[in-house]
Amino acid sequence: MEKKKSYHRGSIFLLHILLTSAGFGIAVLANLLVPQKASVKIVPYIVNIAGLQIRTDINDAYRFVLLCLILLYTVIGIVTWFRKTGRKKYAKNAAFRFALGIALALWDITGTKYQILPQPFFPGPAQVIGAYLADGSYILQNTLYSLRLYFFGFASGVILGITTGILIGWFPKVYYWVYPVLKITGVVPAVAWMPFALTVLPTSFTAAVFLIVICAWFSISFLTAQGIQSTPKQNYEAARILGGGQLNLIFHVAIPHAMPDIFTGITTANAMAFTTLVMSEMLGQPGGLGYYINQSKVWSAYYKILAAIVIMAILFSVINFLIGLVQKRLLRWQKGVVR
């Protein structure tokens, strides 16, 4: 009986892997079999990979990306089979991945093959990938610039926000003087400070860092203070009975209790910081993905704009994922307590 159940689960899970692959496979077939009716210039590119020069075009590159997605999700499916929670999550999202493949096929047909969608505003996925073939090194350069700017700004904002939140939540005098300033400045969009930042700070880079710090600082400090203040009094009393001093109460009682609120603030600030990052790059930076979008907009190269947006979406997802890993590690005590 147990063998039959295991075989049945394995068959269903294999169907989920095949369902995922089928969606992207249909996208590959659509690109191969649907004739190119619209007048899209398919130019060859020479790509250097490990010293080898490979001749390709936008359709070849697009199909290669789809095949990589099929391989990636197949490997993920095989790996997650050995983990119950991962297996359930993979199976749950199989239908969405199939739909994503169908959506890419329809986008390819309506955006590149027949260009039914308004052009040049809605280029097809193969044309978007063409931006990486044409400007690969330049896009990478701007991506690294954005990451550097984001890292300095967001890391500083997290440190400042947590520190301010702890001081506001623990010391009544700090709360009295700082909290009103926090409430007033927090409702002002960070980009509104751009003229002052460019005037006062020495470089546009430090001005952009300041804007990211400001937008991250508010939500993190506000929620950190809220978490500190909501710590039950009996927790402090128990720590005092065990001989805990003020520093012990702060670092071993108040801060651990505030951790869920702190991570909520960090996650919220991450989205706001990313928006501020792009806006600051579009308004006055000499590099970055926002700067690349501005350049592409001038030449109406909307396929390049979409290419930059795809990178932003991937970066934001990866950063959110990393924050989630840290949160899961630090708040592992919540497992089985919080749904």
pLDDT in tens, 294-320: 999 888 899 999 999 999 999 999 999
Q: Which residues of 304-337 are buried (b: 16+ CB within 10 A; e: fewer)?
A: bbbbbeebbeebbeebeeebeeebeeebeeeeee
pTM of the model: 0.86
Residue 2 has pLDDT above 60, yes or no: no
Q: Which residues of 143-158 are buried (b: 16+ CB within 10 A; e: fewer)?
A: bebbeebbebbbebbb
Instruction: Read off the tokens for 96.
Output: 């969405």
Task: Give 240's pLDDT tier (boundaries 50, 70, 90).
Answer: confident
Per DSSP bridges, beta strands 45-49 and 52-56 are: antiparallel
pLDDT digits (tens, 9 = 90+) for 15-26: 888 988 999 999
Residue 196 pLDDT: 85
Could you state, in order of their start, the residue ranges of all structural domains in the chain?
2-117, 135-334
| Backbone φ, ψ for residue 257 (5° rounding) | -65, -35
∠ CA 112-115-117, nearest 5°, is 115
Q: Which residue do the tokens 């039950």 mark?
A: 232
**Nearest Cα to 117, choosing from 38, 62, 63?**
38
Q: Which residues contact 114 (CB under 8 A, 6 or more apart)?
A: 37, 38
Residue 10 has pLDDT above 80, yes or no: no
Given 3-state DSSP classes, what are the helix, strand and coil percentages for the chain, each rounded to the nearest 5? Answer: 80, 5, 15
Residue 9 pLDDT: 60
- Alpha-carbon distance of 300 to 303, in angstroms, equals 9
Task: Give 336's pLDDT tier (boundaries 50, 70, 90).
Answer: low
How is domain 135-334 classified at the CATH fold level? MetI-like fold (1.10.3720)
Instruction: Read off the tokens for 309.
Output: 């947006």
Residue count of the chain? 339
Residue 5 has pLDDT above 70, yes or no: no
DSSP annotation of 259: H
